[in-house]
Amino acid sequence: MEIIVADRVNAIGSYAFADVGNIVTQLKKEGVSPIDFGVGDPTLPTPKIIREACRKGIENRKSSGYPSYIGGMGYRETIAWWTKKRFGIDLNPETEIMSTIGSKEAIFNFPETFINPGDYTLALNPGYPAWSRGTHFAEGKTCFLNLLPENNFLPDLKSINQDVLRKTKLLWINYPNNPTTAFPTTAFYEEILDFGEKHGIIIVSDEAYTENYYDEPPISILQLKKEGVVVFQSLSKRSNMTCYRVGWIAGDKRIIDAYKKVKPNIDSGTVTFIQDAAIAALKDETHVEELRKDYRIKRDVLVDAFSKIGLPNCNPKGTIYLWQSVPEGYTSLNFSKKLLVKDIAVVTTPGSWLSQEVHGVNPGEGFIRLALVPSLEKVKTAAERIKNLKF
């Protein structure tokens, strides 16, 4: 029997991070231990206070049954409390907050709520693949907005074709930005909100990195407006909880209400004892500050190494990444490969793999991304090797 895969699956390429994984596997087969800056998955342990809360939760909830689709009231109230403390925003835990299984599942499934076949999503390019993949599986189309250094890695909303605009339902933004590390400003959010209002487009702000900053904490778009806006948050990067799969959506009640209709048809609620762990995580800032310090040292060590070989200081204010421009005469891929030779063995992601070619331009070309996730010791080793790089 011939196995015929659906067109929507055939239409998608491989997942960039799976490709990175394959190179690492190959190096390991050759007996080399690469230092892996590829995927943004922290390697430090999830803080003990969170693990303990999870352990206790398993006992306390031994007969908990299926978890609520929208999250328990305790979890939603803690999110409301944290959001007020962090951003000064009032959220009603009954109607304006909903738990998610990490943010990826919700990002992928969310377009099912608003996209009819042929409708458009606007998404940043480079950007997190699930924004456009979710739209694709909902039979919509994505119009990619290039993030270029000359625009401070902010999208040019004026570049969007009027026909596309008429069919657009969602605009995905993400600041602090993965991978460019750009930060949001009030003026930028005002522009986005005016644009959404004018064209009847829902603004979806993926705020997975608001807690990963070095100096000034970034703002949330919800500080400016709730109407027509929804924010996706995640504890993955704030609290090293990638394996727990826990996050939430917050914002306009009408948008949350609509998504509440979709989610129970697709998956389940966040596991109850994981919600307990998330509550413990949100109540503690000490571990977040410690993680920030660790990322800052790693950033400084690597930025210094790249400047020693004559590359510009990419000077990130936050996220867990460096968006490093490559030397003249190199493509993203060539330079990534240069760093992968056996005596350097530093794994990075070519920027061109994180973005699409739009109007003949791949905005990730000319950059590599480094996720600051290896241990400090490994980062220091990598920095010494980079300093020896000749090109």
Ligand X SMILES: Cc1ncc(COP(=O)(O)O)c(C=O)c1O
Q: Which position among 34, 38, 40, 316 is part of the footprint of ligand X (CB under 6 A)? A: 40
CA–CA distance, 82 with 85 (Å, rounded to integer): 5
369 touching ligand X, by CB under 6 A: no
* Of 74-82, 100-108, 303-311, 378-386: span binding ligand X (CB under 6 A): 100-108
Binding mask 291-310 for ligand X (x = CB under 6 A): --------------------
CB of 206 vs ligand X, minimal distance in Å:
5
109 touching ligand X, by CB under 6 A: no
- Binding residue count for ligand X, defined by CB under 6 A: 14
348, 336 Cβ separation under 8 angstroms: yes
CA–CA distance, 220 with 12 (Å, rounded to integer): 32
CA–CA distance, 250 with 229 (Å, rounded to integer): 9
Q: Give the list of residues 6+ apart from residue 78 with CB closer than 8 angstroms, or none.
A: 278, 279, 282, 283
251, 266 Cβ separation under 8 angstroms: no
Taking the CA atoms of residue 315, residue 321, residue 323 and residue 326 in that order, the dihedral angle to the nearest 10 degrees is 110
CB of 261 vs ligand X, minimal distance in Å:
22
Assigned token pair, 296: 């800052």
Collapse the DSSP code of 367 into the 3-class scheme (helix H, G, I; strand E, B; otherwise coil) and give the result.
strand
* Of 90-98, 103-111, 157-165, 310-318: span binding ligand X (CB under 6 A): 103-111
Q: Which position among 83, 113, 135, 178 is part of the footprint of ligand X (CB under 6 A)? A: 178
Q: Which position among 46, 68, 83, 174 is part of the footprint of ligand X (CB under 6 A)? A: 174
208 touching ligand X, by CB under 6 A: yes
Residue whose CB is less far from ligand X, 146 or 383: 146
Residue whose CB is less far from ligand X, 102 or 318: 102
242 touching ligand X, by CB under 6 A: yes
Number of helices (H) and strands (E), helices first, in the chain?
14, 12
180, 198 Cβ separation under 8 angstroms: no
H-helix or E-strand containing 230?
strand 229-234
CB of 142 vs ligand X, minimal distance in Å:
15
364 touching ligand X, by CB under 6 A: no
Rule CB under 6 A: which residues touch ligand X?
A: 40, 102-104, 107, 128, 174, 178, 206, 208, 234, 236, 242, 247
